[in-house]
Structure formats: C-alpha cells, structure tokens
A and B are shown apart, each in its own frame.
Chain A
Amino acid sequence: DVKVTQSSRYLVKRTGEKVFLECVQDMDHENMFWYRQDPGLGLRLIYFSYDVKMKEKGDIPEGYSVSREKKERFSLILESASTNQTSMYLCASSPRKVGETGGTEAFFGQGTRLTVV
C-alpha cells in the first residue's frame, strides 16, 4: 500500500512562530504536493515539487516555503505563522514526472489540522 505520512494530525502554534509540517512517502514518487483545505474553498495548491531540490509555486504560496532535500520527504514551512493560516494541510504524492502526458492518481496523507492562536 502507498503510504503518505504527515508528522502531526493536530498542531497548535502561536502567531509569529516558525512552523514545520513534515510529509514522507514510501513509494518513490517523483511528485509531491502541499494543499490547504478550507470550508467553502476546497483544496488549494500551495507548492509542489517534481524532483529533489525542485519546487514550484502553486496558487497560494504567500507566507509559505518548502524544502525537498530527499525524494521521500517534503516539508512545508510557515516562516511566521498567522491566524489566517489556520487550516487543514494535506500532503500528496504522485508517480509521474513533469512533462510526461497524462495525469496520475495522487495519494494523500491524513492531513494536519493547524490552529494558529
């Protein structure tokens, strides 16, 4: 079974803190993604990576950064957490490289519910 594991299910952080959300996948997938999910807005792409040390901005990258030092691990960083970053964060991976035609199934982690107070 493909497994995408996020380090925490629930996190509470204070405004201004630096926050790290970690994600690990065990299927050797090239692509990894970070989404946030908010009621009425659906899943929105923050950043994605199609290879080690490669990253691309998604639709809402402001206030976030990412790191992919190893193929299996993709980290989302909130440099200075704010209350409007309170959300459910979902990591996903998929097995196809950028540039190849056709979509592939994305496998999602269980999500991290982050509350910034």
Chain B
Amino acid sequence: GQNIDQPTEMTATEGAIVQINCTYQTSGFNGLFWYQQHAGEAPTFLSYNVLDGLEEKGRFSSFLSRSKGYSYLLLKELQMKDSASYLCAAYTGFQKLVFGTGTRLLVSP
C-alpha cells in the first residue's frame, strides 16, 4: 500500500523556524519531493532528496532518512509569504509520485 503522513496544519511566527515532518510507507521508493502550493495556485517544486541527509537551499532545507521512512522540510527566517500548503510526495518509480495530504502553514506577524 501507499501511505504518506504529514500534519494537517501548523502555525508559526514571522522570523521563526518551522519543521514540517513527513513519514512514508510506499511500495517502491526512489526519492522524496517537497512542493509548495499557495492558495489557488499551482504546486511549485522546492526540493528532491534521493540520498539520506540534509540538503540546504537558501532558507529552505530538506532531510531524508530512508531507513526510517522519514523526511522533513525546514523553513528558516519565516516570512509572511511562506504561508502556504507544503506537499510531501514519494517518488515510487516510473515518474509516479504519491502525495501526502499537505500541511497548511500559517505564518503570523
């Protein structure tokens, strides 16, 4: 079966750090994607982890542990524009993605 779990909603304050967790159980796993989706807009790519470890890209970092079936997205120096949904997706091969339900992040002043 395919199962991707992430929290439904999180809140944080401008300037803070927030970590969005994602656990997965999939038949076949070849990497983990994170996408950002603002309300009413298309999802946009944030990161792709294939190997264990942390990948940093500006204010955003993504971590993967394949042995634990676990990933997180770390957002630093939060800005109001970071209020969005964050989608975790497991790449199961043959270009197929299995998405979680998304985490809605609300950033307050």
Shortest distance between the CB of A108 and any CB in chain B (Å): 4
Shortest distance between the CB of A81 and any CB in chain B (Å): 23
Q: Are B44 and A102 in contact (CB under 8 A)?
A: no
Shortest distance between the CB of B55 and any CB in chain A (Å): 14
Q: Are B87 and A42 in contact (CB under 8 A)?
A: yes
B79 at the interface (CB under 8 A from A): no
B interface bracket (residues with beta carbon within 8 Å of A): 20 to 34
Q: Are A102 and B30 in contact (CB under 8 A)?
A: yes
Query: Which residue of chain A has the shortest Cβ distance to B32 in the bound complex?
Result: A103
Q: Are A103 and B48 in contact (CB under 8 A)?
A: yes
Instruction: Find residues 14-72 in chain A having any chain B CB closer than 8 Å to their own CB.
Output: 31, 35, 40-45, 48, 50, 58-59
Contacts of A108 in B (CB 8 A): 42-44
Contacts of A111 in B (CB 8 A): 42
Instruction: Find residues 75-105 in chain A having any chain B CB closer than 8 Å to their own CB.
Output: 90, 94, 96-99, 101-105
Q: Are B42 and A45 in contact (CB under 8 A)?
A: no
Query: Which residue of chain B has the shortest Cβ distance to A40 in the bound complex?
Result: B101
State how many residues of chain A have any CB contact under 8 Å with chain B.
Answer: 30
Query: Which of A4, A40, A94, A110 lies in contact with B95, CB distance below 8 A?
Result: A94
- Identify the interface centre among A59, A101, A108: most chain B CB within 10 Å of its CB: A108
Beyond A40-B101, A41-B101, A48-B96, whether A103 also contacts B91 by CB under 8 A is yes
A116 at the interface (CB under 8 A from B): no
- Identify the interface centre among A40, A42, A90, A103: most chain B CB within 10 Å of its CB: A103
